[in-house]
Amino acid sequence: MSPARSNPAARFGWDVGGAHVKVSLVDGGGTVLDVAQWPCPLWQGLDHLHRTIDLVFERWPQARTDAAQHAVTMTGEMVDLFADRAEGVRAIVAALAQRLGSSLHFYAGAAGWLAAADCAAGWRHVASANWLATASWVATGMANALLIDIGSTTTDIIPIVDGRVVARAATDAGRLATGELVYHGVVRTPLCGVAHRVEFGGATLNVMNEWFATTADVYRLTGELDPLHDVQPSADQGPKTQAASRVRLARMIGRDAQDASELEWLHLARRWRALQLREIGANLMRVVAAHPALATAPLVSAGCGRFLVAALARDEARGYIDFGALAGVPEACAAWAATCAPSVAVALLAAREQPEARRQRTRGFAARVA
């Protein structure tokens, strides 16, 4: 979208990930005005986060004013820049507090909204809570649903029953065990992490366990990856073209691109797609098995890989709802709102809560940990 005009009641929702920063602008009435995403390889250093903040200020000058309100969620604490997640939360909070000022609150799930000063003690509530922010907002408008957010790196599968988020685990470790978190995305996932064997040319072949190609190569060839979301470097740092993607796919099975036709490489890409969809679908069934009320529930899609959610909905004969449409976002930025759903969700959740109520909850948390 084009940059929005200044709004003195502006509220910004931030989702600080390890590979991207996503930010949404919401007005005082809770209407989404603008959404944007920037690549931010946080594992390479906090200077990338500071440069991204500069870009946010450039797009929305009102973001640096005292009138602006900032609501933040994150997953970036997981990157290997930090010794552990607690250090990661502290470092990200400190960087944002330095640049965004005092009108800054961090989403902490059941613990409410924490001020920057409380995040060191409450880091477990703040760490990797972006999936919960999205699901909690969806639950305000849907009784029974399965939220599936497929991004560049991961997939979240979140059950909502009777208007409540009923995830069986709250941490990344626990969610990996339940199938509610799957480390599959449509851009950065190495193909050797999708499957170890793949069909090609009438035979089933072992796959090279090397970072020769990623899922972005697959979805470039199938035509499903929007170039606006194709912002991460390729595995070999080479061009992000269909021809270069065929070269990288060929390496995965010990071949060169000239060994087969373009159509044959497209068939291989489609096979990788089917294998990834099968893995995500298997985890969806694990989540549904724990919640019989969701046997026929619709899928709410989010993330740049939501085209795979649409495919799952067709395969499962389920209803399908795009997050952008559910949020009532204007058509001009509905697609970006769905791609950056956690940033939209934290902004909308913060807009629903009166400032005094948020201050009371923050003081209550501070008293509990004192």
Determine whether 80 is exposed, middle or buried from the number of CB atoms within 10 Å of its CB (0-12, 13-18, 19+). Answer: exposed
Rg of the chain in Å (alpha carbons)? 21
The C-alpha torsion from 151 through 154 and 157 to 163, rounded to 10°, is: -60
Within a domain: residue 108? yes
Does 275 have pLDDT greater than 90? yes
Shared domain check, 334 and 317? no
Shared domain check, 313 and 268? no
The set of residues, in sequence order, having a beta carbon less than 8 Å from that of 262 and lying 6+ positions away, is 246
Q: For 130-175, how does the pLDDT look when each residue is reduced to its tens digit (9 = 90+)?
A: 999 999 999 999 999 999 999 999 999 999 999 999 999 999 999 9
Shared domain check, 86 and 25? yes
Q: For 63-101, how does the pLDDT look when each residue is reduced to its tens digit (9 = 90+)?
A: 999 899 999 999 999 999 999 999 999 999 999 999 998
Within a domain: residue 3? no
Listed residue (235, 191, 184) closest to 209, CA to CA: 191
Query: What CATH number has the domain bearing residue 112?
Result: 3.30.420.40
Shared domain check, 168 and 127? no
Within a domain: residue 21? yes
List the structure tokens of 196: 């170890």
Within a domain: residue 229? yes
Q: For 308-336, how does the pLDDT look when each residue is reduced to its tens digit (9 = 90+)?
A: 999 999 999 999 999 999 998 888 889 99
Within a domain: residue 16? yes
In the structure, what pLDDT confidence band is assigned to residue 367 with cuts at 50, 70 and 90?
A: very low
Shared domain check, 124 and 16? yes
Within a domain: residue 258? yes
Long-range contact set of residues 101-104: C-beta below 8 Å, sequence gap at least 24: 101/66, 103/66, 103/67, 103/68, 103/69, 103/70, 104/70, 104/72
Within a domain: residue 2? no
Does 360 have pLDDT greater than 60? no
